[in-house]
Every structure is written in structure tokens, then in C-alpha cells.
Amino acid sequence: VRLGRVQGFVFGQRDALARLALVRVGLGLTVAVLLVFGPYDRFFVDMAGELYRPLPWLPPLGSAYAALRAVAIASALAYAAGLWTRFSNAVAALSFLVLNAYVARFAPEPWSYTTHLNFFLLATCAVDSGRALSLDARRRTARPATPVERETASFVAAFMQLFVGLLYFQSGLSKLLRSGAAWFLTGRTLWVFTVAEGTDLGRALTRWPWLFRAGGVFAGVFELGFLGLVPFRRAHALLALSALAFHTGTLLLLGISFWHLALLVPLVFWPLRPALVARLEPDSPAPSENP
């Protein structure tokens, strides 16, 4: 892959601003739902004295924990709605970063499985993702985006796409390094954990052991192959669908949805129709110029 082509992918995505408006809504709602309904409750106040391992810059928060959580929820919702987007984006990124750093320190091994949300929120601070689908857009008419802003938006969109691709690749590489090709070819890990800890549906599927071997092969092809197709826009619909299939499979077998990533993958990858891009961003370049 020539460097010029890489730059075309990283800096030349003409629909990036429209995509980031869609991602903003999904990302803000995901963070808000996770914080309201997910494991961020009073446990982290009640158990701080016993379980929290303080960071030098982050002492036990006590009752300030609830306030920080409330700020993160409110700013994530404002960001999703596109209200004072750049400000709410920055507040959501910072408050959720501190909150997630804090709760990660309650387990012996730091909990990093939701930090893609932190990285995405930080990355979107580089652009105004509230130019469309936002309350900001209703209140004021934004000036047309400059070419520099478009390149920055493309960089942020490419960052998210590569991040997702690398995440799956890391998951596949970890299996390859720790277990070898046997992980993918035998399906044993899927079988054992489905039987021992899986769902009723997953256990019912053990009537057909070949399904688990096929699942192992699919996981290998998906996890190790995804990243290589990220720069190819024509493959993006396939990538989004395969990710949904992968996460649906782990949900049905093992009760693990990874929804906070799975629901964002289509927003990050699904090819946007020119009519949608034109509607979200009337001053966008002609759709035919889209790389």
C-alpha cells in the first residue's frame, strides 16, 4: 500500500463530517446509557475504602464520585444532542476519562474494556461534530467547513476505523500468541465456556459440535482479517455486518454483547449514501468526489 493511498484514506474521507455527526449521537448515547444503567453505581463509593488502589493524581473521591458521574452523564447527553457540542464534548471526554480511570482501579487488573469510548470522545474533540443532527445546527447556521477542518474530520474518522480494526486484530493476535492456531481450529474455548458458563441457547447448540469449530474459524478470519480491509471502503459494509454477526454470536453463546462497541461499528463503517451526506452537510463536496 503506497503512502499516498494511505494518506487518501486517513485525510481524504469526504463524508467524514457527516459520519462524525452520526457517530456523535451514537457515542454520546452509548456513554450515557452505560453510565446510567451500567456498573457505575454506589459500589464505587461504598467499597472505595477496601478496594480502591489510588493513583497519585486521583485520591478516593467519596461523595464527589456521584457528582462526577452526574457531570459525565449530563455532558454525554448534551454531546449526543449536539448542544454546545464542542464544550459538551470536552466535558464528557474529561469527566468520563477520570471516572473510568477511577473505577478501573477497583479490580486487581485495571479494567480497560470500555476505553475505546474514552479514546473516541477525546478524538472527536478535534472537530466540530455538531454541524448536523444537532441542537446547535438548529440555533445557528454554521459557516461551511474549511478544507483543514475536513482533513481533521477525516483523520478522526480514520482513527476510529483503524482503532476498531486493531482492537479485533489484538483479540485475534492474543489468541494466536497464547494458544496457537488450535484456538481457531478446534473451537475448544468456545465449547468449554459455553458449556460451563454459557447461555441456555448456547448449551442447546452443543448438539452440533461442528458449529463450535466453525465459530472458531469464523472468529479467526474475522479478528485477524478485519484490520487489513479497513482502508478499502468497498469492504466497509461487509466489515460492519461481520462485526454485528460476531457480536451477536458471542451474545447468544456466552451472554457477552460488547454492545458499547458493537452498536458503534456500523456508525463508524457503514457507507453513507450521497443523499444522506448531502442532507447532513449541504456544503459538502460533490458525492462523486468521495474517495
Kindly state whether residue 143 participates in binding another protein, applying the rule CB under 8 A: no
**Binds another protein by CB under 8 A, chosen from 138, 140, 143, 289:** 289
List the one residue out of 234, 232, 235, 271 whose CA is nearest residue 16.
Answer: 271
Tell me whether residue 12 or residue 225 sits nearer to another protein (CB atom). 12
Helices 115-124 and 16-37 cross at an angle (nearest 10°) of 140
Tell me whether residue 113 or residue 138 sits nearer to another protein (CB atom). 113
Tell me whether residue 114 or residue 134 sits nearer to another protein (CB atom). 114
Task: Give the other-Cβ count within 10 Å of 182's Cβ.
Answer: 13
**DSSP code string of 90-137:** HHHHHHHHHHHHHHHTTSSS---TTHHHHHHHHHHTTS-TTSSSSHHH
| Residue ranges in 36-65 that form contacts with another protein under rule CB under 8 A | 37-39, 41-43, 46-47, 50-51
Amino acid (one-letter) located at 250:
T
Shortest separation between residue 43's beta carbon and another protein, angstroms: 5
Shortest separation between residue 39's beta carbon and another protein, angstroms: 5
Tell me whether residue 191 or residue 222 sits nearer to another protein (CB atom). 191
| Exposure b/e, 65-100, CB count within 10 A at least 16 = b | beebbebbbbbbbbbbbbbbbbebbbbbbbbbbbbb
Shortest separation between residue 175's beta carbon and another protein, angstroms: 4
Kindly state whether residue 175 participates in binding another protein, applying the rule CB under 8 A: yes
**Binds another protein by CB under 8 A, chosen from 58, 70, 170, 214:** 170
| Residue ranges in 4-43 that form contacts with another protein under rule CB under 8 A | 4-14, 37-39, 41-43
Whole-angstrom Cα distance, residue 176 to residue 170? 10
| Residue ranges in 66-125 that form contacts with another protein under rule CB under 8 A | 97, 100-101, 104-113, 115, 118-119
Phi, psi (degrees; rounded to nearest 5) at 135: -70, -35
- C-alpha cell belonging to residue 14: 469526504
Whole-angstrom Cα distance, residue 91 to residue 82? 13
Residues 189-218 as x/- pattern, contact with another protein by CB under 8 A:
x-xxx-xxx--x--xx-xx-----------
Stretch that binds another protein, among 66-74, 76-84, 164-172, 271-279 (CB under 8 A): 164-172
Shortest separation between residue 129's beta carbon and another protein, angstroms: 18
Position of cell 480511570? 101
Give ∠ CA 214-219-223 in degrees, rounded to 5: 155
DSSP state of 53: -
Stretch that binds another protein, among 3-11, 20-28, 71-79, 130-138 (CB under 8 A): 3-11
Tell me whether residue 197 or residue 283 sits nearer to another protein (CB atom). 197
| Residue ranges in 220-279 that form contacts with another protein under rule CB under 8 A | 231-233, 255-257, 259
